[in-house]
Amino acid sequence: MRSKASFRGHPIHPALIPFPFAFLYGAFLFDLAGRVAERPSWWTTGAYLGLVGIVAALIAAVPGFIDYFNTVPPKSSGKKRATKHMLVNLGAVFLFAVAWAIRGNAEVVPDSTVLVLEGIGIVLVTAGGWMGGVLVNRNQIGVDHRYARAGKWNELRIRPQTGQPTVVARSDELQVDQMKLIHIDGQRIVLARTEGGYVAFEDRCTHRGGSLAGGVMIGGVVQCPWHGSQFECRTGGVKAGPAETPVRTYPVSEESGQVKLRLPTG
Ligand code: FES
């Protein structure tokens, strides 16, 4: 699903990641080569690359945090993977920071402890990068998935109106088989238009938690982007697995050109 930290539709986090990756790898390799070849200018370069790499990693982490909290579907296998990705990369940055602190000065030769810490940091940053790739390629985090007639990505954050249905769209806002993701009262709900009118259902595939708003809707049936489960949008019933449990649906009404959503009380 589309990234919340993007510029002109392009996710920012993956665009920044090559910088800390290159700097931290460079830091380790220059330190190691400088130590082996006894070349002070090489390990001094390594020290500064490490410092720049730490700063670049922290900058790249900011859009990553935004996507972690706002884009990755909650209670999903993708969220677990994203949590590991975050912890592993933060661990790598921490190790490089400790290595820098131990060293204290860029001109000081990196001792074995510094090299070991940086080496472990490189292993972690490589594993974290691998997980990040899986998050994009398999979990489609940051992918602006558009199928025929889907229209632009449509998302709304709204507070529920107490004791009454909440207005979530204009009647003419969506075409048939288009969807809109609504964040309301801590829940993610998909509003969709079918041939028979508007419907609403939970934005969580019952298989492993994929975002249905990031899927494809055709003929009133939505298909999960992760493993292809299909659900009938009006009833939430499973049309095709691997999911076995229906998705939750919510009552929707149309009145005076407005679409209203009613959240269950209690
Ligand atoms: S998460 Fe597996 S089909 Fe939706």
Whether residues 165 and 222 fall in one domain: yes
Domain extent for 167: 155-261
For residue range 153-162, list pLDDT tens digits in order.
788 888 877 6
Whether residues 119 and 198 fall in one domain: no
Task: Kindly state whether residue 78 falls inside one of the protein's structural domains.
Answer: yes
Whether residues 97 and 175 fall in one domain: no
For residue range 54-107, list pLDDT tens digits in order.
999 999 999 999 999 988 988 898 999 999 999 999 999 999 999 999 998 899
Q: What does the DSSP 8-state code read for residue 7?
A: E
Whether residues 131 and 224 fall in one domain: no
Global pTM reads: 0.81
Identify whether the C-beta of residue 50 lies closer than 8 Å to the C-beta of residue 99. Answer: yes
- Cα 76 to ligand 1 centroid, rounded to whole Å: 9
Whether 229 lines ligand 1, by a CB cut-off of 6 Å, is: yes
Overall number of domains in the chain: 2
**C-alpha separations of 213 from 23, 45, 50, 106, 202 in Å:** 37, 47, 40, 50, 9
Task: Kindly state whether residue 146 falls inside one of the protein's structural domains.
Answer: no
Whether 61 lines ligand 1, by a CB cut-off of 6 Å, is: no
